[in-house]
Amino acid sequence: MKIVAVCGMGIGTSVLLKMNAEKALRALGKDADVEAADIGTARGAARSAEIVLTSAELAPEIGEVPAKVIVIDNFMDVAEITEKLTPFLS
């Protein structure tokens, strides 16, 4: 499974989101390849991903992609990430 963590620049907040998504996946006992991306490359990265994690502000900019786009309100909240990822992990 591939997950893309997206922020505006792809170097700070998305890396934080990536790290916390990896913590959530470890807690759930799931394995996935999590990448950090900026909004400019997110559309391309999302074409080969199953899940995109991003903010409410950036979600509409990702556009139509085959991946499930999940809005994370607080990138620091591993519990929120875990809760929102769980329904999409099989």
Catalytic residues: 7
Helix (H, G, I), strand (E, B) or coil at 34: strand
Helix (H, G, I), strand (E, B) or coil at 54: strand
How far is it, in rounded angstroms, from Cα 47 to Cα 83?
A: 24
- β-pair partners for 33: 2
For the record, the structure tokens of 17 come out as 């989101």
Helix (H, G, I), strand (E, B) or coil at 35: strand
